[in-house]
Amino acid sequence: MAHAFATRLTAPRPAALLVLVGAAAAVGGALIFQHGLGYVPCKLCLTERQPYYLALPLLAAALLLPRRLSAWLLALVALIFLVGAGLGAYHAGAEWGFWPGPSDCGGGAGPAPAGVNDFLKSLESTRPVDCTAAAWRFLGISLAGYNALIALALAALAGTAALRGLRRGA
């Protein structure tokens, strides 16, 4: 019974929906941390979101297209999320000091100053967000680390569904 359920979930359309929901939740979580909790993203954080932004419309299209095309789109999405997992792993490794982060890593946009005087005052206290310093950790894993794990899981689900859909000659 569990095998039948797993088989249904890895069919192209159900898998596309599941990956779409997971990707939207991941991006939504990042936006909540940024806009709701005040965590300013670094350059790598913003770069790590790009695979999600690319994959979301492809996943929506996979829900609407014939099964064989859905399977091909899921294969593409799997590759996109593998790149995303690599970006997250690179960022997490830079945070742990395994390798250096990018030398030009500055922060994302914070609140906009109201005027020139406010802007000049903000320059005194504004520091770029460092890509090598994790702003938040849970169970020892930073947001970049969680992104790597989530992107890898989404890649695995999309890739499994793509292979099943293409093998079945869907």
Number of CB atoms found within 10 A of residue 64's CB: 10
Q: In whole numbers, what is the pLDDT of the chain averaged over residues? A: 82
Q: Is there a domain that residue 3 lies in?
A: no
Work out how many domains the chain is built from and give that number: 1
**pLDDT value for 25:** 96
**pLDDT value for 135:** 76
List pLDDT tens digits, range 77-93.
999 999 999 999 998 98
CB burial string 111-126: b at 16+ within 10 A, e below = eeeeeeeeeeeeeeee
Provide the pLDDT confidence category of residue 101 given band limits of 50, 70 and 90.
confident
What's the average model confidence in pLDDT over 56-62? Answer: 95
List pLDDT tens digits, range 127-169.
556 677 777 677 878 888 999 999 999 999 999 999 888 887 5
Rounded to an integer, what distance in angstroms lies between the CA atom of residue 127 and that of residue 123? 8
For residue 159, give its domain range: 8-167
Provide the pLDDT confidence category of residue 57 given band limits of 50, 70 and 90.
very high
Q: Is there a domain that residue 75 lies in?
A: yes
Rounded to an integer, what distance in angstroms lies between the CA atom of residue 36 and that of residue 25? 15
Q: Is there a domain that residue 87 lies in?
A: yes
Provide the pLDDT confidence category of residue 107 given band limits of 50, 70 and 90.
very low
List pLDDT tens digits, range 25-45.
999 999 998 889 888 888 888
Q: Is there a domain that residue 1 lies in?
A: no
**pLDDT value for 84:** 96
Rounded to an integer, what distance in angstroms lies between the CA atom of residue 41 and that of residue 47? 10
Q: Is there a domain that residue 54 lies in?
A: yes
